[in-house]
């Protein structure tokens, strides 16, 4: 029987582009000819609540799960067999009946500084307007430059790039991975150092989600598309986030990478106004329980913040 794998995705340009890359990799893993891709690996585009609401921060309307819940519902009720998400949008605790089946190799996880006239955050004039919808990016910007005016910026990547080009903002921050995948890497004025701008957990990575009982051909494409180093790093980041109670209501960052026989992990929490930040860094031996160690590191950061009077959010 000819295998067919229906792929659920958001309908945004970036999501469709990312899913297109995954579909090509799936075709290679499953031996699907280019002429047969549309028939055997059909896309199921879905407009999510997060896509429809563009005038408010996600924290005001339910959080990042608004980018995934309709697609996950399509998986559960059988309208698609596989979903492709930006991993940073996927809640740490999956809905019952679903699992992450593969994590492909990660794109650049850093934040990108985009501006028409200025080369870096430090070059911005006093009181400059910077656009972002991320509480984490807001807090990190204000920690570095408390004089900046942080203003809400929602919409797709092209809309955001147009608004900074039209002079509504002196600069905006976006994920470098999205710009690179869309072929807009030339708009990046600077890549922000992880030391100042710890990325969101999972930033730059994609997640392939299926039902618990799997999906057609998973024994072939699951192993082929999964990138073990990326999968381990993001598992640690998400474990730290779980302990940090990371959500759209808390400014948290977590980033991990492999160095020799260790995994290096940075986890931090910030006040939204940037006046305080709590951070820990650890080298975790790969021979240990990386996920448990990452969660313990996140809990250490959380405990320090709570001891200083920060509210508990979930």
Please identify every residue annotated as catalytic. Answer: 89
Sheet holding 82-86, edge to edge: 43-46, 7-10, 82-86, 206-211, 98-102
Among 226, 228, 232, 181, which Cα is nearest to 202's?
232
Q: Tokens 């942080």, residue?
A: 150
Whether 148 and 124 have beta carbons less than 8 Å apart is answered as yes
Among 74, 99, 93, 80, which Cα is nearest to 209's?
99
Cα distances (Å, whole numbers) of residue 188 to 32, 116, 165, 168, 183: 35, 10, 13, 17, 11
Residues with Cβ within 8 Å of 212's Cβ and at least 6 positions away in sequence, in order, are 97, 98, 99
Among 129, 113, 110, 131, which Cα is nearest to 57's?
131
The greatest distance separating any two alpha carbons of the chain, rounded to the nearest whole angstrom, comes to 65
Structure tokens at 187: 């708009």
The SS3 call for residue 255 is: strand
């Amino acid at each position: 029987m000819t295998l067919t794998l229906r792929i659920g995705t958001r309908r945004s340009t970036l999501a469709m582009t990312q899913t297109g890359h995954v579909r090509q990799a799936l075709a290679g893993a499953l031996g699907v000819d280019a002429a047969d891709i549309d028939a055997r690996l059909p896309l199921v585009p879905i407009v999510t609540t997060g896509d429809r609401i563009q005038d408010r921060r996600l924290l005001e309307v339910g959080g990042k799960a608004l980018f995934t819940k309709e697609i996950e519902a399509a998986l559960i009720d059988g309208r698609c067999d596989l979903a492709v998400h930006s991993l940073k949008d996927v809640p740490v605790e999956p809905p019952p009946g679903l699992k992450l089946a593969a994590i492909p190799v990660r794109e650049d996880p850093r934040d990108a500084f985009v501006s028409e006239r200025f080369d870096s955050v430090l070059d911005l004039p006093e009181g400059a307007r910077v656009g972002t919808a991320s509480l984490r990016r807001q807090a990190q910007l204000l920690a570095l430059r408390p004089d900046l005016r942080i203003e809400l910026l929602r919409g797709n990547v092209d809309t955001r790039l147009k608004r900074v080009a039209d002079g509504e903002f002196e600069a905006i921050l976006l994920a470098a991975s999205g710009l690179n995948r869309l072929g807009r890497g030339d708009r990046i004025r600077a890549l922000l150092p992880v030391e100042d701008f710890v990325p969101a957990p999972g930033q730059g990575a994609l997640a392939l989600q299926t039902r618990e009982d799997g999906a057609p051909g998973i024994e072939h494409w699951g192993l082929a598309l999964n990138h073990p180093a990326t999968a381990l790093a993001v598992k640690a980041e998400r474990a730290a986030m779980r302990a940090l109670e990371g959500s759209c209501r808390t400014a948290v960052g977590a980033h991990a990478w492999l160095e020799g026989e260790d995994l290096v992990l940075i986890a931090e929490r910030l006040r939204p106004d940037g006046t305080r930040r709590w951070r820990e860094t650890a080298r975790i031996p790969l021979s240990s329980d990386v996920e448990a160690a990452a969660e313990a590191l996140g809990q250490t950061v959380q405990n320090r913040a709570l001891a200083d009077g920060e509210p508990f959010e979930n």
